[in-house]
């Protein structure tokens, strides 16, 4: 017996919004060029190519502006990608890279270095790497701790991970508070500025290794398309469809931590991007991770480059922390998202 199933011909060509991807890519390129072409020092891009640029213009472009735009793009992409992965993994639209403790771990490492590092004697060649290394040690440390605790408490369930993450963030806050307390005035100021996030410290020597880590982590995370889609049906269903769920969870968390940690180590904490960009990607491209992972990366990179551009040009010759810009854009956008969702 069959119900009267009208034989409507159905179209199964994957509904990849290709045109929108092209638009996003072009937008990214355009914003990157805008970022490279704008700044305190006037540098007409064609002059660089024809060799008419002055020494100052060349060095500003190659050593100051380029590493900055480069880093901003990759950090934006990594934060957005990690945010998308974590929202998919936790099946929660409010998930954010901060949940797994990476950012606060990096903050603990960096601030410890600021406050306690004065007593260490560090060779000159290592100097520019001390802060990023300290930060990334903190980031990895906290993430591994989180992973171990969650595992130890059994079942490595999403709720356990969330709760342990909250606990880790609280502990990190206590440590940071203590360090702030024992810091002197100079250290306190440096520390506060570090926390606010900035791309002003970007240089090739530290950006290239960090971006390398981010790229490797991103490649892994983008490869998780199927696992993430299957997980949306539930963990049991994902298992039934062939996903090794515990392994997938562990790897996604650790690689997200790597992607975020490498960036935070250099820039300090930049908020909202990991939370808001995945929603934007879903809005424009759909919910399947087939499109949202790459889409988030593109949108995140574009947004960060623009945010950095605003941060360094809106109050010239001063520079405002880029986190202020991302929060200023992110918060109202988030409200709009909520309004939109509740109207449906």
Partner 1 sequence: MSLEMRNISYQIRGKKLVSEVNITVSSGELVGLVGPNGAGKSTALKLMSGELKPSFGDVSLEGTSLGSISPAELSLSRSVMAQSTNVVFDFSVEEIIKMGWVQGRLVSPELLPGAMNQVINECGVNLLLNRTFNSLSGGEQQRVQFARNLLQLWRPDSKRCMPRYLLLDEPTASLDLAHELLLLNLLKSAAQLNIGVLIVMHDLNLAARFLDKVVLMSQSRIVDIGPPAMVLTANQLSEVYRTKVIVEQNKKLDRLVIHT
Partner 2 sequence: MRYPLTALLLFLPCQLFANSCHHPAVDPSRVAVAGGSVTEMIYFLGEEHRLIAVDRTSNYPKEARLLPQVGYVRALSTEGMLSLEPTLIMGEDDMGPPEVVAQLERTGVEMVRIPESFTPQGVIDKLRCVAKVLAVDSDRVAVAEAKLAASLQQLEAISVSKPKILPTAAVILVFSEGAPVAAGVNTAGDGLIRMAGMQNALSAIDGWKPLSAESLIEADPEYLILTDRAVAAAGGLDKVYENPAIRLTTAGRKKQLLQMDGMALLGFGPRTLDAAAKISTLVHK
Residue 239 binding partner 1, by CB under 8 A: yes
Determine the Cα–Cα distance for residues 323 and 139; give it in Å rounded to an integer: 19
Choose between 13 and 316: whose C-beta lies nearer to partner 2.
316
Query: Could you say which of 190, 288, 313, 327 contacts partner 1 (CB under 8 A)?
Result: 288
Query: Could you say which of 18, 29, 56, 170 contacts partner 2 (CB under 8 A)?
Result: 56
DSSP letter (8 states) at residue 83 = H
Residue 19 binding partner 2, by CB under 8 A: no
Choose between 27 and 48: whose C-beta lies nearer to partner 2.
48
Residue 274 binding partner 2, by CB under 8 A: no
Task: Answer yes or no: are the C-beta atoms of 146 and 101 closer than 8 Å.
Answer: yes
Residue 223 binding partner 1, by CB under 8 A: no
Task: Answer yes or no: are the C-beta atoms of 109 and 76 closer than 8 Å.
Answer: no
Residue 342 binding partner 1, by CB under 8 A: no
Residue 200 binding partner 2, by CB under 8 A: yes
Residue 343 binding partner 1, by CB under 8 A: no
The label of the residue with tokens 């992973």 reads: 147
Task: Please give the C-alpha separations between residue 192 and each of 120, 187, 197, 321, in angstroms, as whole numbers.
Answer: 21, 8, 9, 11
Residue 316 binding partner 2, by CB under 8 A: yes
Burial class for 45, CB neighbours closer than 10 Å (0-12, 13-18, 19+): exposed
Shortest distance in whole angstroms from residue 103 CB to partner 1: 24
Task: Answer yes or no: are the C-beta atoms of 283 and 51 closer than 8 Å.
Answer: no
Instruction: Kindly write out the interface string for residues 244-263 of this chain, putting x where it contacts partner 1 by CB under 8 A and - elsewhere.
Output: xx------------------
| Radius of gyration from C-alpha coordinates of the chain | 22
Residue 4 binding partner 2, by CB under 8 A: no
Residue 204 binding partner 2, by CB under 8 A: yes
Contacts of 80 (CB under 8 A, 6+ apart): 273, 274, 277, 278, 281, 296, 297, 299, 300, 301, 303
Residue 156 binding partner 1, by CB under 8 A: no
Residue 34 binding partner 2, by CB under 8 A: no
Contacts of 168 (CB under 8 A, 6+ apart): 101, 104, 105, 142, 145, 146, 149
Choose between 54 and 287: whose C-beta lies nearer to partner 1.
287
Query: Could you say which of 28, 32, 36, 60 contacts partner 2 (CB under 8 A)?
Result: 60
The residue ranges that bind partner 2 (CB under 8 A) are 39-41, 48, 51, 54-56, 58-60, 62-65, 124-125, 127-128, 181-182, 184-186, 189-190, 193, 198, 200-206, 312, 316-319
């Amino acid at each position: 017996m069959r119900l009267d199933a009208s034989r409507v011909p159905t179209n199964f060509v994957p509904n990849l919004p290709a045109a929108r991807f092209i638009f996003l890519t072009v937008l990214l390129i355009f914003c990157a060029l805008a970022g490279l072409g704008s700044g305190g020092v006037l540098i007409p891009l064609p002059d660089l190519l024809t060799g008419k640029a002055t020494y100052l213009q060349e060095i500003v472009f190659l050593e100051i502006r380029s590493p900055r735009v480069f880093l901003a793009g990759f950090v934006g992409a990594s934060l957005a990608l990690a945010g998308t992965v974590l929202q998919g993994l936790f099946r929660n639209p409010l998930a954010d890279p901060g949940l797994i403790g990476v950012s606060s771990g990096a903050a603990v490492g960096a601030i410890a270095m600021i406050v306690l590092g004065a007593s260490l004697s560090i060779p000159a060649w290592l100097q520019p790497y001390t802060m990023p290394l300290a930060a990334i040690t903190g980031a990895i440390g906290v993430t591994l701790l989180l992973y171990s605790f969650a595992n130890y408490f059994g079942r490595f369930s999403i709720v356990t991970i969330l709760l342990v993450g909250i606990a880790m963030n609280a502990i990190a806050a206590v440590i940071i508070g203590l360090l702030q307390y024992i810091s002197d005035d100079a250290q306190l100021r440096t520390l506060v500025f570090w926390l606010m996030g900035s791309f002003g410290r970007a240089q090739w020597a530290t950006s290239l290794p960090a971006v390398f880590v981010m790229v490797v982590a991103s490649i892994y995370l983008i490869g998780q398309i199927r696992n993430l889609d299957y997980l949306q049906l539930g963990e049991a269903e994902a298992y039934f469809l062939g996903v090794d769920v515990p392994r997938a969870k562990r790897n996604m968390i650790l690689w997200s931590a790597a992607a975020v940690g490498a960036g935070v180590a250099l820039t300090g904490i930049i908020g909202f991007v990991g939370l808001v960009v995945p929603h934007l990607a879903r809005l424009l491209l759909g919910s399947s991770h087939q499109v949202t992972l790459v889409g988030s990366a593109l949108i995140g990179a574009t947004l960060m480059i623009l945010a950095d551009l605003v941060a360094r040009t809106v109050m010239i010759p001063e520079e405002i922390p880029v986190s202020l810009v991302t929060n200023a854009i992110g918060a109202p956008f988030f409200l709009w998202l909520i309004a939109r969702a509740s109207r449906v």
